[in-house]
Chain A
Amino acid sequence: MARLIWRVAPWAVVLALAAAWEIFAASGAVTPFMLPRLSVVLERIRADGASGELWQNLAYTLYRSFAGFFIAGALGIPLGILIGRNRAVRWLFDPLISVGFPMPKIAFLPIVTLWLGFHDVSKITMVVLDASFPVVTAAIAGTMSVERELLWSARNCGARGAALLREVVLPAALPQIFTGLQVALPIALIVAIVAEMKMGGVGLGGAMITATRFADSPGVFAGIVEIAVAGYVLVKLMAVLRRRLLLWHPEALAPATV
């Protein structure tokens, strides 16, 4: 019974919010342009789904986000571990990361477009530029926080080089690396959408900016709902994946409540 309640409670919150939206929008306190009713927005999403437009936009946006996310992971994790393990590499890369991470990279979009054109490559490049930083910093933090005693005892047992990395460092750093990936995935989605908004065309972001330009409020809010749902599913999937992959780690047990 208690389990059931905890399963239902989150949805109750969402439903309550949805009801509040509908009632507030229908109350006449705001114009339909400022906040269209939720039912109108849902109807719009249904229509877009039926015409196939929604799925096409979703597919493009997800493809760009995932492509960028995987490249960011494939580049960021090894780089982060290397920086965490090697003093010389750290000396070289650490300042670059500190400067590059807080840089508003969207300002470089026009340059990237001129180099790489208007198609997916430049959008995916923007995603990689933004999403790799949290992965790298998390991998650094994870690698560096591996306890010294653990490393010493592993060395005593004869572990060296690649084996040490594979058997000790990587497993110990994995939870933090995963946190980095969990932060990076929503960033990948955000950047893909923002790039689409800036460049127009197909995709959830492109559809939203078109709706904005034509003051088409139901379209704008449909975009917000679609992105929220897509993002929610992605974030949830990452959490499930984390639990699966880190089964052996204490955090995968029931939360440490008393």
Chain B
Amino acid sequence: MRALKSLFAAALVLAAATASAQPVKIRFAYVVPVANWPSILFEKQGLARHLGKSYTYEAVRFQGTPPMITGLANNEIEIADLAFASFAIAVENAGMKDLRVIADEFQDGTPGYYTDEYFVLKDSPIKTVKDLKGKILATNAAGSAVDIVMRAMLRKNGIDDRKDVNVVEAAFPNMKAMLTSKKADVIPAVIPFSFDPDLRAASRVLFTQKDVVGGRTQMIIWAARESFLKKNRAAMVDFMEDSIRAVHWWLDPKNHKEAVEIAARVSKRPAAAFDKWLFVKAGQEGDYYRDPNLLPDLKALQANIDLQQKLGLLKGKVDVSKLNDLSIVKEAAKRVK
């Protein structure tokens, strides 16, 4: 009888295996190497138990988020690393009502962790935000998360971001040169560029993102389409389980040295570029807050998107409570424990 039972069980497993013989393809889009989870998540071998079995994984680098929205719409990628602003734009302007927030990438301004800084030159006459009238402000891209925060700060201080200042665009790695060569009076700086010792020596912080938002910003989230999640739920839970296990490994201070080595190898930069801050909790000297169980802060996300709308950078209201599916990441977290 027992033999029969196990035979039956084996047959069931076999049937299930053949039914899902083809592992689900997960293509995950990101922009910044190392700072974005998808670029390094499974670079530490042996953490992804289901990889190659129930799903296959590919990290795809994109030049900015707009092509990611096209990729999601066209089913060319399954998960995208989207800033809160891009997520709202994808839902509202691209009409992707079936886009779902499924996990956290990182949050800005969580107590004890890093918040983005806006720098002016040390000897600059600009003492407060009000002094910015008529000045040149650098931004990475109009409508981006960092840009929204800057514009919100201006409005708070009675400065019209369209008329009273001159906004120019530059990539984050060039921001320091923009400031020191006086092509811009204020620059935003994000990790790792804000840790540049030359920048620190030449400048001071005018304000931080936390000053503007008044708390956390759910900067970047993982997003996927509902149709994909429904169809491949089992594989997605497996993937999330592997991801959370990997995140635990990366965030564990015990593994710091190895984590830095892998980050250096992947990004082709020296280990010293990461050693001080990567996955380290050290206020303005350390990393952003990355949730160990990949759980996003939906309340913060809603507030951030509302701010975007208030600034006129988003037409309608985007209700995050209807646009999330955290059941997968929660179920996966239970499995890891």
Which among A110, A199, A212 is the interface contact of B66 at CB below 8 angstroms?
Answer: A212
CB distance from B223 to the nearest CB of A (A): 13
CB-CB under 8 A from B171, the residues of chain A are 110
Contact status B93-A199, CB under 8 Å: no
> Does B183 contact A113, Cβ atoms closer than 8 Å?
yes
Give the size of the chain A interface in residues (CB under 8 angstroms). Answer: 20
Interface of A is mostly: loop
Question: Contact at B169–A210, with CB atoms within 8 Å?
Answer: no
**Please, how many angstroms separate the alpha-carbon atoms of A34 and B94 in the complex?**
8
Contact partners of B177 in chain A: CB under 8 A = 110, 114
Decide if B183 touches A215 in the complex (CB within 8 Å).
no
CB distance from B31 to the nearest CB of A (A): 13
Residue A93 lies at the interface, judged by CB distance under 8 Å to chain B: no
Residues of chain B with a CB closer than 8 A to A216's CB: 93
Taken together as a complex, chains A and B put the C-alpha atoms of A38 and B1 apart, in Å, by 69
Q: B73 and A31: CB pair below 8 A?
A: yes
> Which residue in chain A gives the minimum CB-CB distance to B174?
A110
Give A66-118 interface residues, CB cut-off 8 Å to B: 110, 113-114, 117-118
Instruction: Contact check, A200 vs B181: say whether CB atoms are below 8 A apart.
Output: no
A90 to chain B, nearest CB (A): 37
Our pick among A31, A117, A198 for the contact of B95 (Cβ within 8 Å) is A31
Residue pair A118, B94 in contact (C-beta under 8 Å) = no
Q: Is B328 an interface residue (CB 8 A)?
A: no
A33 within 8 A of B: yes
The answer to whether the Cβ of A214 comes within 8 Å of any Cβ in the partner chain is: yes
Instruction: Determine the residue in chain B with the shortest Cβ distance to A212.
Output: B66
Q: Which of B119-172 contact A (CB under 8 A)?
A: 141-144, 168-171
A198 CA to B142 CA, complexed, in Å? 12
Find out whether the CB atom of B169 lies under 8 angstroms from the CB atom of A200. Answer: yes
A217 on the interface (CB 8 Å rule)? yes
Interface size of B by CB at 8 A reads 25
Measured between alpha carbons, how far is A98 from B181 in the docked complex, in Å? 33
Report chain A residues within 8 Å CB of B95: 31-33
Known A-B contacts A114-B174, A114-B181; the reply to A210 vs B142 at CB < 8 A is yes
> Residue B235 at the A interface, CB < 8 A?
no
Please, which residues of chain B bring their CB within 8 A of the CB of A114?
A: 174, 177-178, 181, 183
When distances are taken between beta carbons in the complex, the residues of chain A under 8 Å from B93 are 33, 214-216
| In the bound complex, CA of A210 to CA of B139 (Å) | 14
Task: Kindly state the separation between the CA atoms of A201 and B170 in the bound complex, as whole angstroms.
Answer: 12
A7 interfacial contact with B, CB 8 Å: no
Q: Does B90 contact A (CB under 8 A)?
A: yes
Residues of B within 8 A of A213 (CB): 66, 89, 141-144
CB nearest neighbor in B for A118: B168
CA distance A146 to B21 in the complex (A): 67
Q: Are A214 and B89 in contact (CB under 8 A)?
A: yes
Q: Across the interface, do B70 and A200 meet the contact criterion of CB distance under 8 Å?
A: no
Name B169's contact: one of A32, A33, A199, A217 (CB within 8 Å).
A199
Considering the complex, which residues of chain A in the window 177-199 have a beta carbon less than 8 Å from any beta carbon of chain B? Answer: 198-199
- CA separation between A118 and B174, bound complex, in Å? 13
Residue from B74, B93, B96 having most chain A Cβ neighbours under 10 A: B93
Closest B residue to A33 by beta carbon equals B94
User: Contact mask A196-212 → B, CB, 8 Å, 1/0?
Assistant: 00111100000000101
**Residue in A closest to B168 when the chains form the complex, CB atoms:** A118
Q: Which of A33, A117, A214 contacts B73 (CB 8 A)?
A: A33
Q: Which residues of A contact B66 (CB under 8 A)?
A: 212-213, 215
Query: B72: nearest residue on chain A (CB-CB)?
Result: A33
Question: Are the C-beta atoms of A33 and B96 separated by less than 8 Å?
Answer: yes
Q: Can you report 15 A-B residue pairs in the complex whose CB atoms are below 8 A from each other?
A: A33-B96, A34-B74, A113-B183, A117-B183, A198-B169, A199-B169, A200-B168, A212-B66, A213-B141, A213-B144, A215-B66, A215-B69, A215-B89, A215-B90, A216-B93
Interface residues of B (CB under 8 A from A): 66, 69-70, 73-74, 89-90, 93-96, 141-144, 168-171, 174, 177-178, 181, 183, 313
- Please provide the 6 A-B residue pairs with the shortest distance between their CB atoms, ordered closest to farther: A215-B94, A215-B93, A33-B94, A200-B169, A212-B66, A110-B174
What 17 new A-B contacts, CB under 8 Å, besides A33-B73, A200-B142?
A: A32-B95, A33-B69, A34-B70, A110-B170, A114-B174, A118-B168, A118-B183, A200-B141, A200-B169, A210-B142, A213-B141, A213-B143, A213-B144, A214-B313, A215-B69, A215-B93, A215-B94
